[in-house]
Structure 1
Amino acid sequence: MEKSKVLIVGGTGYLGKRLVNASLGQGHETYVLHRAEIGVDIEKVQMLLSFKARGARLVAGSFSDHGSLVDAVKKVDVVICAISGVHIRSHHILLQLKLVDAIKEAGNIKRFLPSEFGTDPAQMEDAMEPGRVTFDDKMVVRKAIEEAGIPFTYVSANCFAGYFLGGLCQPGHILPSRDSVLLLGDGNQKAIYVDEDDIANYTIKTINDPRTLNKTLYLRPPANILSQREVVQIWEKLIGKELNKSSISKEDFLATMKGLDYAEQVGLTHYYHVCYQGCLTNFKIGDDGEEASVLYPEIKYTTVHEYLKRYV
């Protein structure tokens, strides 16, 4: 397998640290961008040092110093951005657009993977406010990438397992109850759940693959395309007990958003599209996309059943 020099931006974050591990694990020369002045965040420092001990190269750079970004980009062939999806619009867009500018100036990057990793924004033209801001932002970044002629791959990873499966698809829950569950609507809309380490492994697999150049990689592990009811049934079998079930209608769910802060409203809007409208599975992958488990059958992905066993 061809090896690359890979720069990961946001490498100490929730997904970023997994991308660093996957890149190292697949044998790539791995660089991790970090701020020169990191303050007193000892956990972040120790994580960076653990990456270094495994062979990663630490590169100082700042979004407020364009030259440092260009210098960092010039060291590598591939750039992966995993900065978190901050719900402050100008901030998240600004950082990614600065990175796009640096990549454009450097002129040496063979593949750029921007910070996507969720629902495909190209499928969300009719998304509700305020949650649509996330999709609109990603499309602004995509436009900048494509206008700059930067080779890209977009990764649509659907639902992070930790956030969705841990809470049995209930917003605001990350541990599964042994007593009760609230079904969103009838609980029968299909969604797609992917283990975060699998997301990272699929992502790194794609960086040198000509089949994914200038395309979207969709992560749709077949065994993990399930409804909320099916997820709950798997959990019930694991604990040998049936949960008490109630449900919340679409109208009542939307009403709960009123009065919440902006970030919470954005998050709940995403749950609405996934769990009430089935936005992850209501379209077919077109010519501009590929499916990860088809391209990379050698990755033995974690099934929902295997994922939920850790909570028993």
Structure 2
Amino acid sequence: MVRVAIAGGTGGLGRAVVEEILATKKHDVFLISRTEAFKDDPNVKVLAIDYDSPEAIASVLKSNNIDTIISTLGIFQEAQQKAQLNLVEGAVQSGTVKRFAPSEFGLDYVQNKKDGVAIPSEAMRDLKTGTVDKLEASPLTYTRFVCGFFLDYFGYPHYPTYLPYMGIILDIANGVAAIPGDGEQPVTFTLTRDVGKFVAESLSLESWEPTSYIVGDKVKLNDMLKWAEGATGKKFDVHYDDVAKLKTYQVTELPSNVPRYAFFPKEMMFGMLAMMGLGMAEGHFDFKGPTLNEKLPQVKTTKVKDFLEEYWTGK
């Protein structure tokens, strides 16, 4: 049995991770959070910490005998990275924490930095890799869960997910496609709940590798478009955004994103979507090497075609 604390466990991915760990009924689960999510769940103990004080963090972790930390904190700004760096330092000082999974997920930021790739941006990449550098220099065992793009986004509004909606590649409800590149480059997609299952099962592994690739499914975007059209029974208005266009931070507008400009400015959204699309078009979501799937064959993942058919057939 592991005594595991999840940081950011009330967020979109974090909540799915917490629920999947709880579902195993194998571990003592703690939540590092400032909110009251799970407050009525007797199987979850909420730990209040001061992210500005590694010493205070260490005291809380030690007093609760925490041995593993999973971070799902959103790392978009220096202040958020500082919180995670302090969490690492607190884990080291605690003397009880032996393993730490930083908030990585998505892309392989370490490999991208080695390759000189700045997706979705150099700043965000370096915020991610900065924590890995600190872990590398620490006595802690760590792994980076790298899972590709979240499949959840393609089930909205029919699939129940904790992620806020963002339209990318396919606006299935409106029958519009904005495909980066030529659509022939394989892309890794993983459902957040499947990520949670892999994290949960990883807690029982005797050892962790520095990188844990998770592949829910790896498909070509043209095939994904074909399956979406087949499920809905409608022909999409299809656009291909070539690499040159993506590098200017421009993408084909998806109708479902327009209402979201009120809280996510269009220019910022276009820039992020363009860089994520560029990552797909250039193969950065086509992970190479051993996967966690091979080590944990008992975890069955959701396939893209099955997902689209389940949530979009006849809609």
Same fold (TM over 0.5): yes
Secondary structure of the structure 2 residue equivalent to 1:32: strand
**How large is the Cα RMSD of the aligned pairs?**
2.6
Give the equivalent residue in structure 2 for 1:31.
30
Report whether the alignment pairs 1:310 with 2:308.
Answer: no
Aligned AA for 1:147? A
One of 275, 284, 301 as aligned partner of 2:288: 284
Q: TM-score, normalization: structure 2? A: 0.82
Relative distance call for 1:158 and 1:113 in structure 2 (3 A) is same
Report whether the alignment pairs 1:136 with 2:142.
Answer: no
Q: Is the 8 A contact 1:181 1:244 kept in 2?
A: yes
Aligned AA for 2:98? K
Q: Is the 8 A contact 1:182 1:245 kept in 2?
A: yes
Give the equivalent residue in structure 1 for 2:44.
56
One of 130, 149, 159 as aligned partner of 2:139: 149
Report whether the alignment pairs 1:188 with 2:184.
Answer: yes
Q: Is the 8 A contact 2:119 2:125 kept in 1?
A: no
CA distance, structure 2, for counterparts of residue 200 and residue 91 of structure 1: 26
Give the equivalent residue in structure 2 for 1:85.
75
Aligned AA for 2:245? D
Aligned AA for 1:29? D
Secondary structure of the structure 1 residue equivalent to 2:203: helix
Report whether the alignment pairs 1:5 with 2:9.
Answer: no
Give the equivalent residue in structure 1 for 2:230.
237
Relative distance call for 1:9 and 1:219 in structure 2 (3 A) is same
Gaps of 5+ in 2: 158-165, 252-264
CA distance, structure 2, for counterparts of residue 174 and residue 9 of structure 1: 31
Aligned AA for 1:218? Y
Aligned AA for 1:186? D
Residue by residue over 1:240-288, the C-alpha shift from the partner in whole angstroms, topping out at 9 and shown as x without a partner, is: 23323222222223324499656753453232112x101122x531xxx
- Quote the offset at 1:104 in angstroms: 1.1
Using the TM superposition, name which of 252-261 and 132-141 deviates more.
252-261
Q: Is the 8 A contact 2:107 2:146 kept in 1?
A: yes
- Quote the offset at 1:19 in angstroms: 1.3
Gaps of 5+ in 1: 36-43
Aligned AA for 2:282? Q
CA distance, structure 2, for counterparts of residue 252 and residue 63 of structure 1: 40
CA distance, structure 2, for counterparts of residue 91 and residue 238 of structure 1: 43
- Quote the offset at 1:306 in angstroms: 2.8
Relative distance call for 1:130 and 1:186 in structure 2 (3 A) is closer
Residue by residue over 1:107-140, the C-alpha shift from the partner in whole angstroms, topping out at 9 and shown as x without a partner, is: 2212110101111112212213771222222221
Secondary structure of the structure 2 residue equivalent to 1:234: helix
- Quote the offset at 1:155 in angstroms: 0.5
